[in-house]
C-alpha cells in the first residue's frame, strides 16, 4: 500500500518511521528540549540520519490536562522550523488541530497534517481538501485538557475503529484521495491504560479497514503502567518493543521520540505470509454435520500453524463455502485465509504446511480432487519464486473467488509480492459465500 503525502510517497510494506520534534515548553516527555530554532533543526537532522523518513513537528502540547495555546503562538513556534526542514528535503508532518496552523505549514512545505482531533473541525477538512498533503486521522475522546476524565467505552476497539472509518469516509466525501489517509487509534488519548492495551493488541482490526495504520505509543503512560517504568524518557526500549509488536500486527507508520532505538528494533519485523486453507472431505458421516466438520478441520489446521517455529498467527478471515473449481464432481469446499508473521523461509514454511496436511489425512492422488485439508502459501512478503516445488505468489490466486474474498477481508488493498494489486476483477472460479 502506498501512502501519498504531497511530493512524497511511502511504501507501507515496511515500517515508516516518524520522528517526533516537539518545539514546546511543556510536552510530557521532551518539553523544552528543542525550544531554540538551531536545536530543533539539529535534532531533526539527527533523526533523519538515524532512519526517520518523516519529522513530525508540534507546537502545542496535547498531553493529558494540557492547556491550549493560541494559534498565533503555535504558529510562531513551528513555522520557521517547518520551512527550514522542508527546504532541506525532509518530509515534514505538522502536528496540529488548528486549521490556520495546518494551512500555513502546508504553504511552508509540510507534506503531512497530523490532526489529533481527527479532522472534526470543518475548517481543517477544507484545508485537507484544498491540498495534497498526507493526513493522519487520530481518535481522541474530548480535548487534551479533559480527555482522561473517566473515559468509558462499551467496546473500545470497535468504537475507535468505527469513528476513524467515519472520519476517513467523510474526508473522502470532501474530495480527499483515499491514498492520502492514514488512521491512528490514538493510544492514551481519552483512554485508560487498559483500554490502550486493548487497542494496541488488536491493531489488526484497524488494518482490516484498508488504510495505513499509525502506531504512536512512544513513552506513553500505559507503557509506564504496563512495564512499571515511571520516567517517560526511560520507556524508549519498551516503546520500541510495543512498536515492533504493533507492526507485526500490521501497523505501518511508527511515531517515536527515539528514532535510533526504534529503527534498530523494527529491523526484526518478520515477513508476513497469507495462507489459503480449504477442505471438502468431512471426517463425519452425517450430512448435517458436514459443514461444521470442515470448519473444525480448518480450525485444527490453524492451531497447527500456530505451532510452526518462529511463526505467529496474526489474523484469520471468516469461513466461506465455495463451489468446486476445476474438478466439479465433488462436494463443496469450506475455505479461509490466515495471515501470519514468520521467521522461516518460504520453502521451510511449505514443508511445515505439507506436514500439517498429511497429519489431517490429505491424499494427493487426484489433481484438484477432494481433500481433507489443503494449505497453500498465497503470498509471502517481498518474495518471488517460480519452480516445480513452490510458486509464490500462488499462480491461480487471482482467479479464485474462495481465495480473493477472504484475503481481501484481511487486507482490502493488498499488493502482492509481484507488485500486482489483488482485486475481484479477475475472479473466474470457485464462487464463495461467507458462512461464518
347 is catalytic: no
Catalytic residue among 48, 220, 294, 400: 220
- Check 141, 208, 219, 255 and give the catalytic one: 255
> What's CA 92's distance to the chain center, in Å?
21
Cβ contact 166:158 at 8 Å: no
Q: Which residues pair with 4 in a beta bridge?
A: 9
Burial class of residue 335, CB neighbours in 10 A (0-12, 13-18, 19+): buried
Residue 209 near residue 251 (C-beta atoms within 8 A): no
Q: Is 255 a catalytic residue?
A: yes
Active-site positions read 220, 255
Amino acid at each position: 500500500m502506498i501512502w501519498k503525502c504531497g511530493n512524497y510517497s511511502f511504501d507501507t510494506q515496511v515500517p515508516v518511521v516518524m520522528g517526533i520534534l516537539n518545539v514546546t515548553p511543556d510536552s510530557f516527555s521532551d518539553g523544552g528540549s528543542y525550544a531554540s530554532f538551531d536545536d530543533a533543526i539539529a535534532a531533526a537532522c539527527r533523526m533523519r540520519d538515524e532512519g526517520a523518513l518523516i519529522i513530525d513537528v508540534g507546537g502545542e502540547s496535547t498531553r493529558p490536562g494540557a492547556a491550549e495555546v493560541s494559534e498565533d503562538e503555535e504558529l510562531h513556534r513551528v513555522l520557521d522550523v517547518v520551512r527550514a526542514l522542508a527546504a532541506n528535503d525532509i518530509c515534514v508532518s505538522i502536528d496540529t488541530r488548528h486549521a490556520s496552523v495546518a494551512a500555513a505549514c502546508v504553504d511552508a512545505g509540510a507534506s503531512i497534517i497530523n490532526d489529533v482531533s481527527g479532522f472534526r473541525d470543518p475548517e481543517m477538512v477544507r484545508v485537507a481538501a484544498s491540498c495534497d498533503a498526507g493526513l493522519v486521522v487520530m481518535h481522541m475522546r474530548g480535548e487534551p485538557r479533559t480527555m482522561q476524565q473517566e473515559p468509558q467505552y462499551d467496546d473500545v476497539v470497535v468504537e475507535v475503529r468505527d469513528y476513524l472509518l467515519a472520519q476517513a469516509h467523510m474526508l473522502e466525501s470532501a474530495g480527499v484521495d483515499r491514498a492520502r489517509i492514514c488512521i491512528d487509534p490514538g493510544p492514551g488519548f481519552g483512554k485508560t491504560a487498559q483500554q490502550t492495551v486493548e487497542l494496541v493488541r488488536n491493531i489488526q482490526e484497524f488494518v482490516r479497514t484498508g488504510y495505513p495504520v499509525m502506531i504512536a505509543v512512544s513513552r506513553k503512560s500505559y507503557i509506564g503502567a504496563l512495564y512499571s517504568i515511571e520516567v517517560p524518557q526511560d520507556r524508549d526500549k519498551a516503546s520500541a518493543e510495543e512498536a515492533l509488536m504493533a507492526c507485526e500486527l500490521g501497523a505501518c507508520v511508527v511515531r517515536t521520540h527515539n528514532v535510533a532505538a526504534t529503527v534498530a528494533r523494527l529491523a526484526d519485523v518478520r515477513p508476513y505470509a497469507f495462507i489459503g486453507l480449504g477442505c471438502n472431505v468431512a471426517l463425519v458421516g452425517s450430512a448435517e454435520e458436514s459443514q461444521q466438520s470442515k470448519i473444525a478441520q480448518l480450525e485444527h489446521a490453524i492451531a497447527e500453524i500456530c505451532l510452526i517455529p518462529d511463526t505467529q498467527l496474526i489474523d484469520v478471515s471468516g469461513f466461506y463455502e465455495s463451489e468446486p473449481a476445476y474438478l466439479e464432481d465433488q462436494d463443496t469446499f469450506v475455505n479461509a485465509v490466515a495471515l501470519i508473521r514468520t521467521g522461516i523461509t518460504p520453502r521451510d514454511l511449505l514443508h511445515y504446511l505439507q506436514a500439517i496436511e498429511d497429519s489431517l489425512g490429505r491424499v494427493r492422488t487426484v489433481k484438484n480432487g477432494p481433500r481433507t485439508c489443503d494449505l497453500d502459501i498465497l503470498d509471502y512478503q517481498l518474495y518471488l519464486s517460480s519452480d516445480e516445488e513452490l510458486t509464490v505468489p500462488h499462480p491461480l490466486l487471482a482467479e479464485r473467488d474462495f481465495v480473493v474474498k477472504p484475503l481481501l477481508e484481511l487486507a482490502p488493498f493488498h499488493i502482492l509480492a509481484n507488485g500486482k494489486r489483488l482485486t475481484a476483477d479477475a475472479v473466474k472460479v470457485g464462487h464463495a459465500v461467507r458462512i461464518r
